[in-house]
Amino acid sequence: MKKIYKAKYLIALCAIMALTSCKKSFDEINQNPNSPTTAPATNILARGLITTGNTLFGTRLDIYYAGSYSGMLASIATGDYEYRVDINNDMWNNLFTGMSVFVDAGEKASKDGNTNLQAAALTMKVYAAQKATDMFGDMPYAQAFKLNDEILYPKYDKQKDVYTAMFAELKTAADLFKTGKGALGAGDFLFKGDAKKWQKFCNSLRLRLAIRVSNIDATTATNVIREVLTNPTDYPIMTSNDDNAYFYYPGVAPDEELWFEDSGVGNRAYGSFRMGDVLISALKANGDPRLPVYAVPNKFGVYNGYKFSSTQRQDPLNTSDNVSQIGDRFANDSKGFSPYMNCAEVYFILAEAYKRNLVTGDAAAAYTAGVTNSLKENGVSDEDIATFLAKPAVNFNTATSTQLQKIGTQKYISLFKQSVEAWSEARRTDIPLMTGVSQNYAASHNRPPFRMSYADQERTLNPDNFPFNVKVVDIFWGDQMWWDTRTGVN
């Protein structure tokens, strides 16, 4: 572990010192005339956004891995859950490198007295940490960024403790934003310097974490949600699509949207990245107007998703002619976006919290707002939104399914292109119910993977702290996440 964490620190340091030559940095921040060795905090923030964004929203994780596990996407060229040691190591390394860069950005901003940027950096550190722990489970956190304290072999924290730390850090960030000062600068690729939107993002992220742990720790979830909702002035949240945390790309090589940039998606002639059956089925079931936005009809004019099963490679509907490609808004726009979080998700969190009586509120109104905002951001007209909301299977107050199932289904659909988040929600709620498992594992398992395998290098680089007691089965299964309380799954 000494070598890897030292390497991570050096990578981060080199990134900070050499941002002017970074391929993925945009021109406006590619200059630092004041110092040859120290970059402004805003540049460091930018480096962290790029490092984590390229990992979380690149095709490897967002389509091959979590895309398949979430039932939203698939690579029909591979036709299975792909696992490669080097790629798995890279994802682990990049997320920890990103977190360390955000720590550096926050420390630099704090020294500068820029509390807005300090809070933004801390928010993003937690954002990356939440993704990492929801992918891997227990992980180094409290000691992971203490190289200056000569902690070279950080201990692994239980996922419960990681969440406790993340809640505390987001509260710190939220309180910094209340009286924050200082400009976010040119490195703010998410909100273009709008500190108010960062503040909303921070508090919305607090709600995401709260609902994630609500089945295992309802008290903490309730306390966090109540604190945020009862103090709207101090702790505002996302309320419209204008608040969405979306990373938009300039659209000129090499700064093109990640899915478009991968020719397997952007070039429709031979793209192998396709839609998954679970998402396509959910959209088709209710005549969802987002279907033609999310997907492209197959060669025969039909919407069809790749279906994982014990016979998937023999299934004639799983061929390139028969499986729908990804819609233009998400995969065929060089100026497209990577979605960190949207307001629709926030409304669905509120709807669930109200329906489960975690806090008091109007679940129907929150649910309707969630559906409406998801449809609006996908270009659906007001008339079609009204028609869709009136359908018995969609309308909150009809009895075609439970209201929590409706909340979960619509939340899942709204998370398209946020595959790690969609996979996490499916693991937490079993909505939508996914029993189709990749052919190589279908005989042994009744649900998609529970986890990512730990980076293989961790076993040898930090053997005294590596959690060898964690049960791992077939690389992807074994111990469930701490917050995954489902029973009868394997």
Distance CA 168, CA 440 (A): 41
Closest to 114 measured CA to CA, from 41, 30, 34, 45: 41
Report pLDDT for 78: 81
**H or E stretch including 475?**
none
Report pLDDT for 21: 33
How far lies 217's CA from each of 210, 213, 214, 224, 488, in Å? 9, 6, 5, 11, 20
Give yes or no for a contact between 121 and 76, defined as CB atoms under 8 angstroms apart.
no
Beta pairing partners, 74: 274
3-class secondary-structure state, position 329: helix
pLDDT profile of the chain (490 residues), mean per 10 = 37 36 43 61 98 96 96 90 91 97 98 98 98 98 85 93 98 97 98 98 98 98 98 98 97 92 64 94 97 97 97 94 95 95 98 98 98 98 98 93 96 98 98 96 97 93 92 95 98
Report pLDDT for 30: 53
Lookup: tokens for 9: 């620190």
- What is the crossing angle of helices 115-136 and 85-112, to 10°? 160
> What is 2-250+446-478's CATH number, 3.40.50.300, 1.25.40.390, 3.30.420.40, 1.10.3720.10?
1.25.40.390
Report pLDDT for 357: 97
Report pLDDT for 45: 98
Report pLDDT for 36: 44
Question: Which residues, 6 or more positions from 117, have their beta carbon under 8 angstroms from its beta carbon?
Answer: 41, 42, 45, 105, 106, 109, 182, 183, 184, 185
Kindly tell me the number of DSSP H helices and DSSP E strands found in the chain.
20, 10
- Helix ranges (H only) for 301-361 are 328-331, 343-355
Report pLDDT for 149: 73
Q: What's the predicted TM-score (pTM) here? A: 0.92
Domain extent listing, the chain? 2-250+446-478
